[in-house]
Amino acid sequence: AIFNLGSINADLVYRVPHLPGAGETLAARSFSRGLGGKGANMSVAAARAGARCLHIGAVGADGRWAVERLMEYGVDTRPVATVDDVTGNAVIAVDDAGENNIIILPGANRALTEDHIARALTEATEADSFLFQNETNALRIGAERASARGMRVAHAAAPFDAASVQQVLPLLDLLFLNEVEAAQLAEATGTEAASLPVRDIIVTLGSKGCRWHNTDSGETRSFPAFKVSPVDTTGAGDTFTGYVMAGLDRGMPMEQAIRLASKAGALMVTRMGAADVIPDLKEVQAFNPP
């Protein structure tokens, strides 16, 4: 199984004629509330890819709907705590040209306790994986606990923070970075991704595909992206990561997990939205872009 320590957000999306300036009051054309947060997106992707995924996280009393939606998508939400804080949310303004402004309030996502994480991991074994991003607190504690249990420890270093990723690097078996994050980490460490002390490193390159560095073999392999017409790139990386983790959890070799995840990422960019539109395994298998 995959134990994913991650954020749960309400994505509050306002469609506006133009992005508001300082002091401006603007009427939105429409509003929608979707499930988002990198953590929730990755849990949904892993579950929809067929893995058993337990989400370790927190919401406020206003976040029951988000937990119910996670459950509908097949995520085991028993390790989601309800805390005395507001559910994480993102206020997103999108204009007619597709440009956006985003305000994120971490809220309950930063209210996790060491005790809660330890309890969530009591049944985990070395056959399980631990995944985390950088939208919750207690990352180091979670990674240490998971590592001590012999789990495969994987991290998506987003949103990027050099100090935070460097703190957990020695605990990682697998690191996901996008192109920008890889450049930021190289600058912070003075080392290219391929030379970091992590066994497997995957650098995603959007429409250019991805690269996988394996430090055991010293090899770097490139994987092409599938050709699609992008509509909304939100959640592509999260979908890709969840699918890779699900593939590995089901015993796939890395190459096969990456190819499946690349297809899922490509299909995701053809859809508007985040967690609510992440494709399931059947849809990904049936998707045959040129």
Residues designated as active site = 238
**Structure tokens given for 26:** 């603007």
Min CB(241)–ligand ADP separation in Å: 8
Our CB check for ligand ADP shows the closer of 59 and 236 to be: 236
262 binds ligand ADP (CB under 6 A): yes
Candidate list 20, 50, 74, 209; residue touching ligand ADP; CB under 6 A: 209
206 is in an annotated binding site: yes
- Binding site annotation covers 38? yes
Q: Taking the complex as a whole, how short is the minimal distance between the CB of residue 80 and ligand ADP, in angstroms?
A: 24
Which residue, 56, 14, 61, 57, is CA-closest to 33? 14
Tell how far CA 143 is from the center of its chain. 16
Q: In the bound complex, what is the minimum distance in angstroms from residue 83's beta carbon to ligand ADP? A: 28
Residue 265 within binding range of ligand ADP, rule CB under 6 A: yes
Among 113, 137, 166, 207, binds ligand ADP (CB under 6 A): 207
Whole-angstrom Cα distance, residue 141 to residue 125?
A: 17
190 among annotated binding-site residues? no
With 0-12 / 13-18 / 19 or more C-beta atoms within 10 angstroms meaning exposed / middle / buried, residue 148 is exposed
Q: In the structure encoding, which two tokens stand for residue 27, read together? A: 């009427």
Least spacing, CB of residue 262 vs ligand ADP, in Å: 4
For ligand ADP, the nearest residue by Cβ is 237
Residue with tokens 């450049």: 183
Name the residue nearer to ligand ADP (CB basis): 87 or 234: 234
User: Is 271 assigned to a binding site?
Assistant: yes
Q: Which amino acid is at 219?
A: E
**Of 16-24, 62-70, 147-155, 198-206: span binding ligand ADP (CB under 6 A):** 198-206
Task: In angstroms, give the least distance from the CB of 162 to ligand ADP.
Answer: 17
**Terminal Cα-to-Cα distance of the chain (whole angstroms):** 33
CB 91 within 8 A of CB 10: no
Choose between 74 and 206: whose C-beta lies nearer to ligand ADP. Answer: 206
Helices 236-249 and 38-48, interaxial angle, to 10°?
A: 50
Which residue in 121, 240, 242, 248 binds ligand ADP (CB under 6 A)?
Answer: 240
Bond into 159 cis (ω within 30): yes
The rounded Cα 276 to chain-centroid distance in angstroms is: 14
CB 39 within 8 A of CB 104: no
* Tokens read off for 91: 């206020």
Binding mask 94-123 for ligand ADP (x = CB under 6 A): ------------------------------
Cβ neighbours around 188 below 10 Å, total: 14
Q: Does 178 bind ligand ADP (CB under 6 A)?
A: yes
Compute the distance between CA of residue 286 and CA of residue 226 in angstroms, rounded to an integer.
Answer: 14
Residues flagged as binding site for K(+): 232, 234, 268, 271, 273
Residues flagged as binding site for ATP: 178, 204-209, 237-238
Give contact residues for ligand ADP (rule: CB under 6 A). 178, 204-207, 209-210, 225-226, 228, 230, 233, 236-237, 240, 262, 265-266, 269
